[in-house]
Amino acid sequence: MEFGITFFPTIGPDDRPADQYFDECLALAELADELGLHHVRTVEHYFFEYGGYSPDPVTFLAAAAARTRRIRLGTSAVIPAFTHPVKLAGKLAMLDNISHGRLDVGFGRAFLPDEFEAFQVPMDESHIRFQEGIEACKRLWSEKAVVWEGTHHRFGPVTLLPRPVQQPHPPVYVTTARSLESCEAAGRNGHNLQMVGAILTREQIQERLAAYRKAWVEAGHEPGAERVQLSYPAFLSEDADQALRIATYDEGKGGERIGAAVSSWSSRTSQAYPGYEKLADQALRPTVADKIRDNKVLAGTPQQVCEQLAQISEWFGNDVIISVAVHSGQLSFEDAERTVRLLAEQVAPKFR
């Protein structure tokens, strides 16, 4: 297993100024680099106190690149539906150069109706924009005189500069929340996979990983070369009661923020997002105790979290990458720093 950190802010200006939050996250990225963790990642969201402090992950990761030397830098994820592929491919290629080849590119489809409305993109177009956006970026990174005749974008011949350091292109991850079909498509296309371990049952994740790995092999890709990343909120302390207390507070606040962000689903449906109209009802259902019991939240002493991770390894494979979500902004910087240190010093070594 490899371990890294993800930033998913669930705050607004009344909670913490954005400049302070970014300073703290960059300090944590430096710490993760110093302690030998695998990656630092962040998301792309807009408007809400649910990811809204991170509208441009590339900008944040460029700052992190300047302050780190070894750690990989990942998007979790950029949204092709909201950015022209030439612009997106160029920004990411530049980041790969700034970081000297440390970029992992996660692409996501987005799922919040208000974001699609703001960009004037119909939600029912999300699949084709996602698929074509990834393919266009890959071609722009690896080919010259690219001519693109897509459903929504047409351009060329163009040759992108700068070329990525990593050739033919940086590692590509597909981020999927629920869709079995997206997992199968990722496998067929030879893409790595990012999943949020906290929102599906063990059986649902196992079903999706099996479908992904089967599609990968059947498409002729090298068996075992695929990478799977699972992300979980994490709260570590030498004091188990303290870990539970901060997990309960952070998850409670996060549940409120996601509830507000997905509330517009209660009055909408989309063929591209079956079942999402129930998200608002589902957002606050599980308790933190339930999430810890089901290994959807990593919380406790280092030993307790090691026990959770041992079960996750047994369920999903000992080669998965674990990305722990730290510093949503609801807790103190010291709480997040403690989690990162304990993860790197007392948890990660047990799984090498």
Cis? peptide before 157, omega within 30° of 0: yes
Q: Which amino acid is at 250?
A: D
Mean pLDDT, the chain, rounded, equals: 95
Task: Quote the CATH superfamily of domain 2-234+304-351.
Answer: Luciferase-like domain (3.20.20.30)
The ranges assigned to domains in the chain are 2-234+304-351
Q: Of all residues in the chain, what percent carry a pLDDT higher than 70?
A: 98
H or E stretch covering 105: strand 103-107
- Give the CA angle between residues 18, 20, 26 to the nearest 5°: 100
H or E stretch covering 90: helix 85-98
For 329, phi and psi rounded to 5 degrees?
105, -10
Q: What pTM did the predictor assign?
A: 0.94
Helices (H) and strands (E) counted in the chain, each on its own, are 12, 11
pLDDT band at 103 (very low <50, low <70, confident <90, very high): very high
pLDDT of residue 268: 81
Q: Looking at 189-293, list the stretches that DSSP marks H as alpha helix, in order from N- to C-terminal side.
A: 202-218, 240-262, 279-282, 288-293
pLDDT band at 304 (very low <50, low <70, confident <90, very high): very high
Residue 203: is its pLDDT beyond 80?
A: yes
Q: Looking at 99-179, list the stretches that DSSP marks H as alpha helix, in order from N- to C-terminal side.
A: 113-118, 126-142
pLDDT of residue 316: 96
The number of angstroms, rounded, from the C-alpha of 171 to the middle of its chain's C-alpha atoms is 14
Residue 320: is its pLDDT beyond 60?
A: yes
pLDDT of residue 283: 56
pLDDT of 139-175, one tens digit each?
Answer: 999 999 999 999 999 999 999 999 999 999 999 999 9
